[in-house]
Amino acid sequence: MLQVMQRDHKLRSYTLNSVCAHFLGEQKEEVHHSIITDLQNGNDESRRRLAIYCLKDAILPQKLMDKLMCLINYLEMARVTGVPFNYLLARGQQIKVISQLYRKAFEQGLVIPALKSEGSDDQFEGATVIEPERGFYNVPIATLDFSSLYPSIMIAHNLCYTTLLDNKGIEKLGDIDYITTPYNNAKFVKVHHRKGLLPTILEDLLSARKKAKADLKKETDPFKKAVLDGRQLALKISANSVYGFTGATVGKLPCIEISASVTAYGRQMIEKTKQEVENHYTIANGYQHDAHVIYGDTDSVMVKFGVDNLVDTMALGREAADYVTKKFVKPIKLEFEKVYFPYLLINKKRYAGLYWTNPDKWDKLDTKGIETVRRDNCLLVQNVIETCLRKMLIDRDVSGAEEYAKKTISDLLQNKIDMSQLVITKALSKSDYSAKQPHHELAERMRKRDAGSAPTLGDRVAYVIVKSAKGAAAYEKSEDPIYVLENNIPIDTNYYLENQLSKPLLRIFEPILGDKAHSLLAGDHTRVVQIATPTIGGLMKFAVKTATCLGCKTPLSKNDTAVCRHCKPKLGELYQRQLDIVNKLEVHFARLWTQCQRCQGSLHQDILCSSRDCPIWYMRKKAQKDVQDATNLLERFNYAW
DNA sequence: ATCGGGGCCTAG
DNA sequence: TAAGCTAGGCCCCGAT
Q: Does residue A547 share a domain with residue A522? A: no
Q: Does residue A576 share a domain with residue A611? A: yes
- At residue A274 the predicted structure's pLDDT band, cuts being 50, 70 and 90, is very high
| A201 torsion bin: left (phi>0), alpha (psi -120 to 50), beta (else) | alpha
Mean pLDDT computed over A468-478: 92
- Identify the DSSP state of A490: P
pLDDT above 70 coverage of chain A, percent = 82
pLDDT at A95: 94
Tell me whether residue A52 is in a domain: yes
Å: A426 CA to C1 C1': 27
pLDDT above 90 coverage of chain A, percent = 56
- Give the highest mean pLDDT range of A293-297, A450-454, A582-586: A293-297
Q: Does residue A110 share a domain with residue A22? A: no
CATH value at residue A455: 1.10.132.60
A3 touches strand C (CB under 7 A): no
Q: Does residue A386 share a domain with residue A448? A: no
Q: Does residue A186 share a domain with residue A54? A: no
Rounded Cα–Cα distance for residues A220 and A434 (Å): 52
Mean pLDDT computed over A439-451: 92
Q: Does residue A257 share a domain with residue A320? A: yes
Number of domains observed in the structure of chain A: 5
Tell me whether residue A356 is in a domain: yes
Long-range contacts of A274-279 (CB under 8 A, 24+ apart): A274/A130, A274/A301, A276/A323, A276/A324, A276/A327, A277/A144, A277/A301, A277/A303, A277/A320, A277/A324
Q: Of A30-39, A205-214, A486-495, A556-565, where does mean pLDDT reach its minimum?
A: A556-565
- At residue A491 the predicted structure's pLDDT band, cuts being 50, 70 and 90, is very high
Q: Does residue A384 share a domain with residue A299? A: no
Å: A236 CA to C13 C1': 39
Tell me whether residue A316 is in a domain: yes
Per-residue pLDDT reduced to its tens digit, A498-521: 999 999 999 999 999 998 999 998
Domain that holds residue A181: 88-368
Tell me whether residue A437 is in a domain: yes
Per-residue pLDDT reduced to its tens digit, A160-201: 999 999 988 888 887 889 999 999 999 999 999 999 999 999
A89 touches strand C (CB under 7 A): no
Mean pLDDT computed over A457-482: 92
Strand order in the sheet with A164-165: A164-165, A187-189, A178-180
Å: A350 CA to C8 C1': 10
- Give the highest mean pLDDT range of A74-88, A390-404, A535-549: A390-404
pLDDT at A168: 86
Per-residue pLDDT reduced to its tens digit, A85-106: 999 999 999 999 999 999 999 9
Rounded Cα–Cα distance for residues A306 and A151 (Å): 33
A510, amino acid identity? E
Q: Does residue A427 share a domain with residue A413? A: no
Rounded Cα–Cα distance for residues A146 and A271 (Å): 13
Q: Does residue A151 share a domain with residue A295? A: yes
Q: Of A29-43, A282-296, A371-385, where does mean pLDDT reach its minimum?
A: A29-43
Sign of the alpha-carbon torsion through A464, A468, A473, A479: negative
**Residue A124 contacts residue A263 (beta carbons within 8 Å):** yes
E-only strand ranges, A88-210: 129-130, 135-137, 141-146, 164-165, 178-180, 187-189
Rounded Cα–Cα distance for residues A44 and A52 (Å): 12
Tell me whether residue A388 is in a domain: yes
Q: Does residue A338 share a domain with residue A353? A: yes
CATH value at residue A221: 3.90.1600.10
Tell me whether residue A70 is in a domain: no
Three-class SS state of A346: strand
Using the CA of A241, give the nucleotide whose C1' is nearest.
C4
Rounded Cα–Cα distance for residues A399 and A376 (Å): 28
Please give residues of chain A from 275 to 294 whose alpha-adjacent beta carbon (CB) lies under 7 Å from any atom of strand C: none
> Which string of b and e fits A91-106 if b means at least 16 CB within 10 Å?
eebbbbbbbbbeebee
**Which residues lie across from A352 on neighbouring strands?**
A344, A367
In this complex, which residue's CA is closest to the C1' atom of nucleotide C11? Answer: A499
Tell me whether residue A352 is in a domain: yes
- At residue A640 the predicted structure's pLDDT band, cuts being 50, 70 and 90, is very low
Residue A613 clears pLDDT 60, i.e. is over it: no
Tell me whether residue A373 is in a domain: no
**Residue A326 contacts residue A307 (beta carbons within 8 Å):** no
Q: Does residue A388 share a domain with residue A322? A: no
Q: Does residue A226 share a domain with residue A128? A: yes
Using the CA of A259, give the nucleotide whose C1' is nearest.
C5
Per-residue pLDDT reduced to its tens digit, A569-581: 655 554 555 455 4
A575 touches strand C (CB under 7 A): no
Q: Which residues touch strand B (CB under 7 A)?
A: A 10, 126-127, 149, 297-300, 349, 367-369, 373-376, 425-430, 432-435, 437, 439-440, 460
Nearest to A530 by CA among A417, A431, A623: A417
pLDDT at A535: 38
